Structure formats: structure tokens, C-alpha cells
Amino acid sequence: MIVGPARRILACAALGAAALAGSSAHAADTPFDYFWSRVTLEVPVFTRHIPHRDDLNNGDWGAYVDVSVTRQWSIVGGDFINSFHRNTAFAAVSWTPVRFDVGKIRIAPDAIVGLDLNGGYKGDSQVDPLLAAVQIKVGAADLDNPKYAFLERLGLALTFIPPSLQKGGAMPVNLAITYRLGK
């Protein structure tokens, strides 16, 4: 079994290779103009645990980067302070099977599976180092007025993380602000 820094290096190398391999495939199946239009930053602003427990961190501060490889697949990485007040670095893949446009609002559900790269959940997760989440992204879609085009790059992400059975079964629900770097 690969442990410690070797696991982190291996995971980062695999994600980098997948991103490079996917870049050419992405160009063929999407109209994105350039690399930055595929990069989205996510900054968590609020977390709540269901059921609520005072001993769990409701801040979960950090930052994530989501790089689209195709319209359905992206590579996600980031770092945050988890519910147990420990730093967690992660690398993951995200799958977005469908997108819904309701008027000028776009809704996109994601399934995310990844790795805890530095053991932030060690001892608190039955599936360590695996991580999983379901995310719903909401943002503007196809705004007609160029004056408000920046709103198409701004959005919200609501993330649901399966509860840890070892620690009382509280499910974290996280709200993040998202911003796509390119048009």
C-alpha cells in the first residue's frame, strides 16, 4: 500500500496526466475558447452539519480548483479545514451527467470521487483515503446583456458529503461561491 508523500505524488501525477490527455479531447467536443474558460475556483463560505453538532467545524475554509476536461468530466483539487478541524488536501474527479437551464438559471448536479492526500480524515473515515460528495452548482445561463456577462462566470455550489459513521453520522452540507476564470 502506498502511504504518505508517495501517495500524494502519485495522485498528483495521475491527475496531471489525465488533464493533459483530456485537453485535446476537450478541445474537440466543446466550444470553450481557451484554457481559462475551463477553470473554476470554488471558495467555501458556510457549512452546516445535519444533525448539528457543536464539536464539528462549520467553517470548512479553503479553496478548490475545478478544471473541465470535457463537458461531463473535470479534475478537482484543493485544500480546506475539514469538519474535524484538520487540514485536508484532496484530488478528485467530478462527473456532471446533465445540465438544466431554467430561464436564465443553470443547474448542474455533480458526483465527485477523490482522495484525501494528507490524511485529514484519518481515523474518522471508514473508507480512508477515499472521499465522495454530491454537488449542485447554480449559476446564470446565456444572459443577453453583455453588461451582465460576468454573472455567467459567478455561481454557487451546494455540496453534500456522506456522513462518517464512526463519528455520529453528521452529514456536512457546504455552500461555496464559484467563479469561472474565463468566458
Q: How far apart are CA 94 and CA 132, in angstroms?
A: 10
Helix (H) or strand (E) run with residue 55 in it: none
Contacts of 114 (CB under 8 A, 6+ apart): 76, 90, 91, 92, 93, 130, 131, 132
Grid coordinates representing 44? Answer: 467555501
Q: How far apart are CA 69 and CA 32, in angstroms?
A: 11
Contacts of 134 (CB under 8 A, 6+ apart): 109, 110, 111, 112, 159, 160
Residue 61 has, within 13 A of its CA and on its CB side, a CA count of 1
Q: How far apart are CA 61 and CA 85, in angstroms?
A: 10
- CATH code: domain of residue 149: 2.40.160.20
Q: Please state which of the ranges 10-19, 58-67, 85-94, 144-153 shows the lowest mean pLDDT.
A: 10-19
Domain range enclosing 74:
4-180
* pLDDT tens column, 20-74: 444 444 444 444 567 888 999 999 999 998 888 888 888 778 999 999 999 899 9
Apex 19 CA angle, 15 and 25, nearest 5: 145
Domain count along the chain: 1
* pLDDT tens column, 132-179: 999 999 998 877 777 777 888 899 999 998 887 655 678 889 999 999
**Is pLDDT above 70 for 17?**
no
